[in-house]
Amino acid sequence: MKNIFFQKGWITIAIGLLISFYANSQNTIKTETFTVKGNCEQCQSRIENASDIKGVKISKWDVDKKILTVTYDSKKTSVEQIEQAIAKAGHDAGKVNASDADYKKLPACCQYKDHVCDDKKK
């Protein structure tokens, strides 16, 4: 009788562990960081707005470090899609560079390839 109890106990534990592992593997909310080029707070606003696509929960660009931290649902979007949206707004993002046409649409202060913005408040 003890053997049956222990066998049933182990089966219950094994099933519980499998369910736990499966539930953890279903977590689709991820947080990633990558470099985004820009100069100022105006860039920050543009970058954060551009990264606000379907599936993105939170995005925050650090003006000084030039790093975007983004939390997103990996079932709805990917880092590559977020980078492409930001590049379309004129900023090099991670592995995706902005086209020359999109870059030239940036205000002069925000054109990071040519110079650094003198006024961080713009």
In a domain, 12, yes or no: no
What is the reported pLDDT for 76?
Answer: 95
Q: Is the dihedral of CA 80, 82, 86, 91 positive or negative?
A: negative
The per-residue pLDDT for range 83-97, each reduced to its tens digit, is: 999 999 999 999 999
In a domain, 119, yes or no: no
In a domain, 35, yes or no: yes
In a domain, 122, yes or no: no
Boundaries of domain holding 46 = 29-110
Average pLDDT for runs of 10 along the chain of length 122 = 53 62 69 96 96 96 96 96 98 97 94 69 42
In a domain, 42, yes or no: yes
What is the reported pLDDT for 64?
Answer: 94
What is the reported pLDDT for 116?
Answer: 63
What is the CATH classification number for the domain harbouring 98?
A: 3.30.70.100
What is the reported pLDDT for 122?
Answer: 41
Q: In this structure, are residues 112 and 37 in contact, taking their beta carbons and an 8 Å threshold?
A: yes
How many structural domains does the chain have?
1
Angle at 119 between CA 118 and CA 122, to 5 degrees: 135
In a domain, 99, yes or no: yes
Is the pTM higher than 0.85? The answer reads: no
